Structure 1
C-alpha cells in the first residue's frame, strides 16, 4: 500500500524476514515523526531529495550560515518544521514547479524563527506560518502578516492601513446617523444625528439660520421679533431686516396757525428711530421763518418736523430718543401756533421712516 512517507510495508504472502520489513517501517515512521535533519548550507542553497525530506520531522542548518540561503522542498505531501537558529541570516523555504519561468511558493524564516507547516504534494504547494523561537516561546515573529504587522519581538500588532472593511466595524445603532464626536475634547468616535452635526457650525440656539457663505456654511443668529429674512442676491449673505412701516404727511396749500394738517391711526405697533432717522420731506414754498410741525401720539408731543427758510427739513424726537406708537393710537401733525400765522409756506409733504414691531 503506497503512502506519503514511503515507509516499507509487509507485502501480501511475504514469508521470510517479515520482522525486518516491520522494523524498517517502524524506524521510518519514527524518524519522520521525531528526527532532526541537519541541512548543510556550506556550499550554498540546498534542494532536498524526497528521501531526505521524508527522513525527519524537523529541519535546521547544520552550522552557522555564511549568507542567506534557500531550501527547496520536493513535491511530497507531509507536515514538517524548519528551525532557523542562525543569528544573522534568513533561510527561504521554496516549493516550485521547476519550470521556466518558475512558479513558486516561498516562506522566509528569519534568524531565530520557526516555520510550522506542510507541503501538499503539488508543485508548488507550501503552506504554514512563521513564529518566533526566542526564549522557547511560541509568539508570532516580527514582520508583515498580511493585514497586520508584528513588531517588538511579537509584542506589538499593528493593523495595516485601509484593511478594516465596513462589515468589520461595529453596527450603527439606528438609521440616519453620522460618525463623529459631539462630546467635548478628544475621545472615541460617537454616533451623531444630523441635528447634532449642524450644531457643530455654531450655537444650538432656537431661531438660528444655516446658510452658505462664500466658502463655508455659516450661522445667522436669530433676529429680533418682527424682523424678516432678506436675501441680498447672489454673492452676498442673507440678513435680518425690519418690516418697513412708513408714515406719510401731505398738506396742500398754506396751513393756519395751530391747524391739524395730518392725522392717521396706526394698525400695528410702529417704531421710530431717534430723531426720526431716515425720514425725508419736501415743501412747495419755503416759509419766511422756521416752520415747526408738532408730531403727537394720542395728543402727546413726541417730536417736531422743522422746515427752514431754505426748505431744509430737520426731524427731532423728544429727548432725542427712539419712539414707539402703539397699534390703534392717533398720530397727528399740527402747524405751529404762530400769531400771526405763517403765510408763506405751502404744499408740505414728509414721510417718517418707521418699522412694524
Structure 2
C-alpha cells in the first residue's frame, strides 16, 4: 500500500524514492512483522489462554513427557503469524501485483482450514478436528483455484512449464498436468510443515529459513539481470513475492520469541498449514517447485517417515520407527527435546544451503 501511495510522490519528495526498491520494502516487511509480533503477542496469547483454559489437547498415545510438559499450553498461535504477515504485506507490497494476492489467498485459505481444525479439537477436547477427507478436499480446492490463477498471470511460455534445477535450459511443458503438480506442491508443503510441528520451536525455524531462501529466489527470478546471469528462468512480477517471504521471516522470528522452549503458545494447524501453503505457493509461482523439496528437505523427511511407518505397519505389521513423525522417534530413544530441535534446525540450514546452491550450478 505504501508503495502504491508514496512512489508517485517521489518526483517531489526524493525520500519517497526508497519505496520503489524491493530490498528496502523487504527489509521493512521483516521489521514490521517482527514489531507486530512483539506488540500483539502477549495480548493474543493471554486471550487464547483465557478462551482455551485447558490448552491444546495432548495425545495420550504420544511421548509420555508431553502429558506433563505441554499440558495447558494454548494453541492457535498461528493467528499471530497471520496477523503480522498480512499487515506487513498490505503495508509494503505492491498491491497491484497479482502474485501477491495469489499467495495471500493460499495463506489465508489454509489458515482458515487450520483454524477450523484447531477450533474443533479444542471444543471436542480431542486431537480429532475437521474430518481428514473434508480437510484435504478444501485444501485441494484452494490450491486448484490458486493454480488456475497462477497460469492466468504467467507468460505463455512458462505458464504450464516445470523447470528442472541445475539444467539451465531444461523446461518441461507438462500442459494441464501442471495443475496436479501445483496442487501437490501446495497441499504437500502445507501438510509437511503441519507434521513437523510437534516440538517447541521445531517447525517455525525451518519455515523461517525456507522463507528467507525463497525471498532471495523470488527477487532473483523476478529480476532480468540476475536471472540472465544465473541462467534461471525469468518470471515477470515474482520479485514482489520477496516482500511476502520477508514478512514471513519477521512473523516467524517474532513467533519464535513466544514458541521457544518451553513454549508459551503453539502455532497449531492455523499456523503450520498457512506457512506451508505460503511456501508451496511461492515455489510454484517462481518455478522452483523441485528446489522447495531440497530447501524444505526437513519437512520432506518428516513426511516420508510417516508414510514409511504407515506402509510398513499395514504390509508387515511392524514399525520402522519407534514413533512417527521422525522427531518423536528420537524422543522415544531418549533424546532431550532441545537436542532434537537444535539438531533438526542444523539439518534444515544445511539443506537450505544445498537448495540455494542449485541457483549457481548450471
TM range (shorter): under 0.3
Based on CA coordinates, which of the two structures has the bigger radius of gyration?
A: 1
Q: TM-score, structure 1 length as denominator?
A: 0.18
Higher helix share: 2
1 or 2 for the larger relative contact order (CA 8 Å, sep ≥6)? 2
Higher strand share: 1
